[in-house]
Structure 1
Amino acid sequence: MKHARKVVVVFDDANQCQKMEKELGLLGTSVQAIVQGPSVFRTALENIDAEVEIILLVCERAHLALVVANLRSIVPHSGIVVVSQLESEAQRTELLFAGADTALPMHVSATELVATKHALRRRAERFLSYTAETFVAATEPMSTSFSADTPWILQDKGWSMLSPSGVVIELTYGEKQLIELFSHSHDGRVSREDFLQIKSGGLQSKRAVDSLISRLKRKAAELKLDLPIRSVHGWGYSFAGRISREERSPETLTAQEEQAQLLQQIESAWHENAAIDGRLSLQFQSRIQLKDAIQQGVEVQLYWDGSQRIHSALLGQLDKVVTIAVLERSIQMLCADMHEWQQVYRLSTPVQLSIPVSILPELQPSLLRLLSSYASEARNIELVLRNTDETSDLTWITLCAPLRALGVSIWLEHDVSVPSQHTLGLDILEGLRFCYPDDEQPLSDHVQQTLLQACGLAAEHGLKTIVGNVWNKARRDAAVRVGATYVQGEFLGSPMSRDGVLLGLASIESM
């Protein structure tokens, strides 16, 4: 909170930045430009005079979102303003998601920028005042007027927790994963080593685990709650309470109902000739190699209107014309992103794309044309074909041959089942992907035994295996026991934006 009262303004035009610095000075605003660029921001920040109100930076337009995301991690409570001639709503939206407070046009006046600074300053003052008040309040007696049998209830798919006294605690991703671990432990005890498995939660050491729990308990204390997390000396932590999940209300749509509704929205938009570009976006899910517990690749996920996931199963239910259009546009976006990662940042990673095998005949020609123009990126693409019927037409094998020649890896995706000898013998395959049932029920013995047999057979035939839909520790542990090569799912990391992938890759490269 040291720099909460400062505002950082990012330009993509050096001349405009210099002009603004002069105009702000004439208005009596204390301003300083970091001329060396964003790469030295963290160091330069420590040497900036405490009276400086506005800090100016310049970066290339292509790097705006990544720079903003980095700034937000360095100054989480400061105002961040982007000044650029942004051409589309999607660009502005990306910056806001990356961490900017607002985006202003290139020729914004110094007066308007000062007004924006004052608005952000008011927010900072209220925040600092609230923080001081809650610090005092945290020293007051905490609310404990509830029965020990009253559960703590996970709500909003685990993103918030309702205390027995009726107070809601909003959870960060790391906190959500931590509480999930407690909820799946039969005795409420979890070791520090188990916490460290949550790589995407940023837990790189036992000290980081302790810090996460300390922050969560402090957050609860600010709400006058005694969060019953207790230390087990030399081992880990226990949750001295009962955790349950919120029951679904009759008004809440099931996953199947949500997908059916989404299908109608996409097809309606297409048939009404509405543009899909602005409504279609990509996010990326980490893939973790179990042998050494490191990220090795990502799965690209398609989203509609920024929040609704378009699953590969849904693509198989859309009109084929619509499916082809959605996939062609998605692959164009993906290749452009991968090209930028490689050419601008010198970073690359394997990227999985799942499609229904039934639409490959129609998609393959355009896919070949596109990947031929992105030859370098094609070698990092892993095409996962969802094949729910192994007795179906096998022409996909022929269709995949030219893709394989471009360096594209071919995978088959199944629900948990034992693959046929024919599938296991296909030379064109890199591996098999199995998905746990899409529900929150404990894994049955049948599912675990089937997966054990499937992964064993795949390994015997030199095929790698991915286990998907891993959203809790029990599922991760089951994947470890059956010898899977990789795991994916929200337990290992929430979906990331393109800039989130870049930050993750950059951190891996720097290790």
Structure 2
Amino acid sequence: MQSPLILIAETRQDLRSMTRDHLEQSGFRVLPAMTAKDIFNALSTTPVRAVVLDSALRGADGLDLCRDVRERSHVPIILVGADSSEVDRVVGLELGADDYMAKPYSARELAARLRAVLRRGGERSSGLRRHSQALFDGWVVDFARREVTDPTGQPIALTAAEFALLSIFLDHSQAVIARARLMELAGVRDGGSSDRSVDVLVSRLRRKLGAGGRPAPIVTVRGVGYMFSAAVDRR
């Protein structure tokens, strides 16, 4: 099986080279990029499995670029930037990133984060994958195709992290999942009480499942976690 191809969009040549060397030693293939044009050319012509995107990439604001990549592709995105504040992390996640790392970061940790987003993107199967579909409130989730269809038959685009989160909720429907447990199942790093990564993911998924005017079946259990309130039929 061919190693996953990772697109590294990094402004600094020395960091790009160092990261490339370490990721290749860790079993990945690496494709470097220096501009937004490089990124979109690669995504349209090459089977890229994940993107590591510098928020200070030349030629475009990195956060806007993150949003543009997400609009064109479901590929997992790890956003890296010089600002480690909660605001930057939350904005990056809201714009479609699957994870956020502050500079300076270790290439070893980046490799671990990449494995995590690839797992969430479907590298490994879970118990739920024994069923090809899950149905709830008129929605259809097709695990083989990784497609989600709303009650009107329209497809809804989910990121890898959002699809993984929905899969967890479907696997634990009508049961309260503690926030810490949900973070563990989703592979979201807990950086302390101020880290809202899992809350942002839940918010993004809730917004998409409620886009048709119906309330999304994700209930916040204050002080505990979340519950997927809909009954799920698996086929």
The bucket for the TM-score relative to the shorter chain is: 0.3 to 0.5
Compute the TM-score of the two structures, normalised by the length of structure 2.
0.47
Compute the TM-score of the two structures, normalised by the length of structure 1.
0.24
Larger helix share, 1 or 2: 1
Q: Which has the higher contact order (CA 8 A, sep 6+)?
A: 2
Greater Rg by CA: 1
